[in-house]
Structure 1
Amino acid sequence: MSKRVTLFEPPQLDSSKAPIENVLELTSVDDIGPDVFTNTRPLWHPPGARGIYGGAAIAQCLAAAMRTVPADFAVHSMHCYFVLAGDSEIPIVYHVERVRDGRSYITRTVQARQRGRPIFTTTLSFNKANSGGKKKLQHAATMPPVPLPTPPGSGSRRFDENRGGPFESARAGIVNRGATPEEKKVRRWVRCRGRISEAGAQHAHLSALAYITDSFFIGTVARVHDIPRFTSAAELKMALKALKNPSDLDDEDISRSLNELKEEESADLQRRLEGALSKLQDAKSKSEHKEIGMMVSLDHSIYFHNPWKFRADEWMLTEMESPWAGEGRGLVLQKIWAKDGTLIATCTQEVCFLLRPERMGGLPFPLPVDPNEWIGSSPCG
């Protein structure tokens, strides 16, 4: 008997909705309980990862929790922990617990389970609109002056709106490229493809934002240390071959994503290889050569500053930096602005980051001793 990757037969894609809305659609499981939901469609397994894309679990937990709160409450924070690798070939069941319902704040916890075991858990807090009083203290980080991505057809290859997948992105540069790792900032434009439907309302925009926050996030520690995610075309091919259930992207889209990643890293990699070519012959240079051994997300937090004042299908600027790394872990901070300069959200993530002691054949990342400890990674690092 073949495996079913969803509890129920997935319906046809709804052309009136944006791709991200179809990807994140939930189905109620009334037979289990009133606040229980499951993924309507198969979830994406990123190349090279041991589990599903973490952004899907984050976004669907948020979507499930939002179904249990009044419409005049909006999420202001969610704190997540990746517990076990999510299997893309098994349905996920989301259990929402109504922890507290107050006049100004509501608290929910959501547990994502497979085969009865928790793979992901999050606590969310919701705030009632306009409950901050008439007098308010206000300040916000200013959006840096970064030009919007160049539209297709203008001679630029920075992004292609005709590609598939639920969202698109465009590189916006690295600040302080020649500085120390903690001083560098990686910038990128992101937005959902298509137009989020009126029926989806702001809940759809918030879920889409949550989905996007996990993309490119985990790779920041490697980027500020100039360590490429993939060091050869062979590793790219192995990662693609290991892919399962690419529901969000088809093979051509994934190849494009990997090629974009390769293009981003090629300049830095070429510069490092050219500068170190002669030195790589001796033992000292070999000991200094760094490759990723394992890179997984441990936790993920989002602070939603202006949940009512943005659209996820319009360009948003992300800026990522890593103030600290050590003890096999690294901390990453992310700010996200709407294109009008409104600070939408601030995110944090701690990453388990281990270097490969020596070159090994086989998989692009060696498996940990316990495969259940591998949580998964972002689609393009």
Structure 2
Amino acid sequence: MTEAARAAAADPTGTDLGTEVPTDSAGVPHGQPVLDRLVALLDLERIEENIFRGVSPATSSVRVFGGQVAGQSLVAAGRTVPAERRVHSLHAYFIRPGDPSIPIVYEVDRTRDGRSFTTRRVVATQRGKTIFSLSASFQVDEDGIDHADDMPDVPDPETLPTFTERAGDLLEGLGMTQPRPIDVRYVTEPPWESRETGPRAARNQVWMRADGALPDDDLLHVCIAAFASDMTLLDAPLARHGVYWGLDDVVGASLDHAMWFHRRFRADDWLLYDCASPSASGGRGLATGRFFSRDGQLVATVVQEGLLRVNR
């Protein structure tokens, strides 16, 4: 463990990032120390054999970020599964808003341990009430048929501006000035730009990666991807209607979340996140996402429905 990681583990809420933390042109902290905070955040405290406790960053908004509780729940599940069984899918529901000012307790139900598959169910609670539930399935490595969709033809991430460079003076209005452990670079026009030029196709593409180096831990890389998958997914339905968080009267929240992990990947390498929205109705928007590795491999698929109330 690096010195930065040790410091992060001692203060996982990120109340003291220190004086050596790099900042971007907008003064937003990023880089290895910020990523180490995220890794420490996912390193849950074991209370009992099947019970874990997690915290939220001091920089959280009024409710716990959905990707955080999903990532922490998957960590809790994975801590009860042999290392040779890798997670291949998760299905989750966001039930109540989480309070970032108090810890979250994760209780794991060891649903099944079969010869090839292991199933776990995790319930996250605060103040005695369930805020999130997750089911995850793990599998031993097996040989079989193999095919996948081709990766879209997109520019290289190094040729694209960073998130803060793209957002510019809108950072405050977007509420995006907190430390950024994930480097996000838009391929398609960001929704805050398309709202000025008019609605566009319900599609959103970004390159993203953990902003630093991660240890060789398959479960951690999957959990970082689960965390990041909730960051830009609902951009796709909002783009179709030319509105965006913080700039328009939009109320939204993740309702459910599903992921399938097809192939091994590293979350600290560039991943293309290709998202689309096939439908929106009834105050809800459906979004699908595909993660491709830099060499074109389809590594994960995501589906989420979100609450989207737009007051025009």
Q: Tell me if TM exceeds 0.5.
A: yes
Q: Distance in 2 between matches of 1:125 and 1:83?
A: 21
Of residues 155, 161, 172, the one that matches 1:147 is 155
Query: Does structure 1 retain, via aligned residues, the 8 Å contact 2:283–2:308?
Result: yes
Of residues 322, 327, 334, the one that matches 2:277 is 322
Of residues 72, 77, 86, the one that matches 1:65 is 77
Q: After TM superposition, give the deviation of residue 353 of structure 1 in Å.
A: 1.4
> Runs of 5+ in structure 2 lacking a partner?
1-8, 13-31, 166-177
> Identity of paired residues, percent?
33
Q: Which residue of 2 aligns with 1:53?
A: 65
Of residues 231, 250, 253, the one that matches 1:215 is 231
Q: Which amino acid aligns with 2:280?
A: A
Q: Which amino acid aligns with 2:203?
A: K
Q: Which residue of 2 aligns with 1:39?
A: 54
TM-score, structure 1 normalization: 0.65
Helix, strand or coil for the counterpart of 1:139? coil
Q: Distance in 1 between matches of 2:151 and 2:231?
A: 20
Q: After TM superposition, give the deviation of residue 180 of structure 1 in Å.
A: 8.1
Q: Distance in 2 between matches of 1:34 and 1:124?
A: 18
Q: Which residue of 2 aligns with 1:127?
A: 139
Within a 5 Å distance, the mapping from 1:251-290 to structure 2 comes to none
Q: After TM superposition, give the deviation of residue 219 of structure 1 in Å.
A: 3.0
Query: Does structure 2 retain, via aligned residues, the 8 Å contact 1:19–1:193?
Result: no
Q: After TM superposition, give the deviation of residue 98 of structure 1 in Å.
A: 0.1
Within a 5 Å distance, the mapping from 1:201-212 to structure 2 comes to 201-212=217-228
Helix, strand or coil for the counterpart of 1:143? coil
Of residues 283, 286, 304, the one that matches 2:261 is 304
Q: Distance in 2 between matches of 1:206 and 1:120?
A: 19
2:162 matched to 1:158? yes
Of residues 10, 20, 28, the one that matches 2:38 is 20
- Relative contact order, higher structure (CA 8 A, sep 6+): 1
Q: After TM superposition, give the deviation of residue 41 of structure 1 in Å.
A: 5.6
Q: What do the CA deviations read for 1:214-251 (whole angstroms, capped 9, x no partner)? A: 101133211222113233xxxxxxxxxxxxxxxxxxxx
Greater share of strand: 2
Q: Which residue of 1 aligns with 2:88?
A: 76
Q: Distance in 1 between matches of 2:164 and 2:279?
A: 34
Q: Distance in 2 between matches of 1:350 and 1:166?
A: 25
Q: Which amino acid aligns with 1:74?
A: R
Q: After TM superposition, give the deviation of residue 185 of structure 1 in Å.
A: 1.9
Shift in CA distance, 148/297, structure 1 to aligned 2, threshold 3 Å? same
Shift in CA distance, 328/204, structure 1 to aligned 2, threshold 3 Å? same
Q: After TM superposition, give the deviation of residue 184 of structure 1 in Å.
A: 3.5
Q: Which amino acid aligns with 1:207?
A: C
Of residues 270, 289, 293, the one that matches 1:338 is 293
> Runs of 5+ in structure 1 lacking a partner?
1-9, 232-290, 358-381
Shift in CA distance, 316/103, structure 1 to aligned 2, threshold 3 Å? same
Query: Does structure 2 retain, via aligned residues, the 8 Å contact 1:217–1:320?
Result: yes
Q: Distance in 1 between matches of 2:289 and 2:273?
A: 7
Query: Does structure 2 retain, via aligned residues, the 8 Å contact 1:174–1:184?
Result: no
Q: What do the CA deviations read for 1:144-192 (whole angstroms, capped 9, x no partner)? A: 12122227xxxx643579x9422111111159x89986x5421001000
2:174 matched to 1:170? no
2:103 matched to 1:95? no
Q: After TM superposition, give the deviation of residue 296 of structure 1 in Å.
A: 1.5
Q: What do the CA deviations read for 1:252-280 (whole angstroms, capped 9, x no partner)? A: xxxxxxxxxxxxxxxxxxxxxxxxxxxxx
Query: Does structure 1 retain, via aligned residues, the 8 Å contact 2:198–2:242?
Result: no
Q: Which residue of 1 aligns with 2:168?
A: none
Query: Does structure 1 retain, via aligned residues, the 8 Å contact 2:203–2:237?
Result: no
TM-score, structure 2 normalization: 0.78
Q: Which amino acid aligns with 2:182?
A: F
Q: After TM superposition, give the deviation of residue 329 of structure 1 in Å.
A: 1.2
Shift in CA distance, 142/230, structure 1 to aligned 2, threshold 3 Å? same
Q: Which residue of 1 aligns with 2:10?
A: 11
Q: Which amino acid aligns with 2:296?
A: G
TM-align CA RMSD? 2.7
Q: After TM superposition, give the deviation of residue 328 of structure 1 in Å.
A: 1.4
2:204 matched to 1:186? yes
Shift in CA distance, 112/211, structure 1 to aligned 2, threshold 3 Å? same
Q: Distance in 1 between matches of 2:262 and 2:267?
A: 14
Shift in CA distance, 345/301, structure 1 to aligned 2, threshold 3 Å? same
Q: Distance in 2 between matches of 1:40 and 1:12?
A: 10
Shift in CA distance, 44/348, structure 1 to aligned 2, threshold 3 Å? farther
Q: After TM superposition, give the deviation of residue 44 of structure 1 in Å.
A: 5.2
Give aligned pairs, total: 268
Q: Which amino acid aligns with 2:281?
A: G
Q: After TM superposition, give the deviation of residue 20 of structure 1 in Å.
A: 2.7
- Which has the larger Rg? 1
